[in-house]
């Protein structure tokens, strides 16, 4: 079984090659349109190194959001194009399920923090069962960090690239709120591959024609355009 995993939701993107359920190679690239041009060459390089052609791929796992609007559009458009052109089976992997796998071993309760601007966050809340499995107590949604902390049991770990933008909402006298190390904040393609592989075994494939990013809310540019149209009326 041959597969690729694509992660473009964060400030640093990555691509992983998977063979028989194991990640055999991974490359990363910086976020932004100028760096997006590197994605296809990286995929080509990873496939050539294994002696694969695009049509040799069986499955394609893609981080579906929430996250960077631009990054998600780039990754998902590429994935849809590949699926429609080659027939590779597509798996839309929720980014929150990728991020939670970065949580430290001692964490029992985790709130994910992704910046949504306007003092809001894209977030989800997870709890670790005694078996070690993460259970989603609050699915991905738009909220404030203050409100999430008001509902979260203690101790709770905070994880995600939005932390620096919302640290003012973390109570200084609450020792039960723990900020994780910054190296844990980035979703990685190898974890997209792990979660995507599990979803594929459960037959959780998606139709490329209907595959859309998990935005939670519309991009800011669309909201501003709509406001400008209402003003003209």
pLDDT of residue 214: 95
pTM: 0.92
DSSP alpha helices (H): ranges in the chain?
A: 33-36, 39-50, 69-86, 95-99, 145-151, 163-166, 189-201, 220-232
pLDDT of residue 206: 97
CA-to-CA dists, residue 2 to 60, 72, 94, angstroms: 9, 23, 21
Mean pLDDT of the chain: 93
CA-to-CA dists, residue 173 to 74, 166, 177, angstroms: 41, 16, 9
- Is residue 139 within 8 A of residue 127, CB to CB? The reply is no
Please provide the CATH number assigned to the domain covering 105-180: 3.30.420.40
pLDDT of residue 54: 86
Average pLDDT over residues 58-75: 95
Average pLDDT over residues 40-66: 96
Buried residues in 57-78 as b, exposed as e (16+ CB within 10 A) = bebbbbbbbbbbbebbbbbbeb
Task: Outline which parts of the chain fall under CATH 3.30.420.40.
Answer: 2-95+186-228, 105-180
pLDDT tens-digit map of 138-178: 999 999 999 999 999 999 999 999 999 999 999 999 999 99
CA-to-CA dists, residue 14 to 65, 71, 103, 210, angstroms: 14, 11, 19, 24
Closest to 111 measured CA to CA, from 30, 189, 72, 169: 169
pLDDT tens-digit map of 79-120: 999 999 999 999 999 999 999 999 999 999 999 999 999 999
Given pLDDT bands bounded at 50, 70 and 90, which one contains residue 223?
low
2-95+186-228 fold = Nucleotidyltransferase; domain 5 (3.30.420)
Q: What is the DSSP letter of 169?
A: G
Lowest-confidence segment of 35-49, 174-188, 217-231 by average pLDDT: 217-231
- Is residue 3 within 8 A of residue 193, CB to CB? The reply is yes
Buried residues in 180-190 as b, exposed as e (16+ CB within 10 A) = beeeebbbbbb
């Amino acid at each position: 079984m041959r597969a690729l995993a694509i992660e473009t939701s964060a400030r640093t993107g990555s691509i992983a090659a998977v063979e028989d359920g194991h990640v055999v190679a991974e490359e990363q690239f910086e976020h932004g349109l100028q760096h997006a041009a590197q994605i296809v060459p990286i995929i080509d390089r990873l496939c050539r190194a294994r002696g694969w052609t695009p049509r040799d791929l069986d499955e394609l796992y893609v981080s579906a959001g929430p996250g960077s609007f631009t990054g998600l559009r780039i990754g998902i458009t590429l994935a849809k194009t590949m699926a429609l052109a080659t027939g590779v089976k597509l798996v839309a992997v929720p980014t929150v399920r990728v991020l939670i796998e970065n949580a430290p071993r001692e964490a029992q309760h985790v709130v994910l923090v992704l910046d949504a601007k306007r003092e809001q966050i894209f977030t989800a809340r997870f709890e670790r069962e005694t078996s070690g499995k993460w259970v989603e107590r609050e699915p991905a949604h738009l909220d404030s960090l203050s409100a999430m902390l008001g509902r979260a049991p203690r101790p709770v770990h905070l994880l995600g690239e939005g932390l620096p933008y919302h640290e003012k909402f973390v109570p200084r006298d609450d020792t039960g709120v723990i900020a994780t190390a910054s190296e844990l904040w980035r979703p990685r393609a190898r974890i997209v591959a792990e979660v995507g592989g599990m979803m594929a075994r459960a037959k959780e494939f998606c139709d490329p024609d209907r595959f859309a990013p998990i935005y939670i809310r519309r991009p800011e540019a669309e909201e501003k355009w709509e406001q400008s149209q209402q003003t003209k009326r």
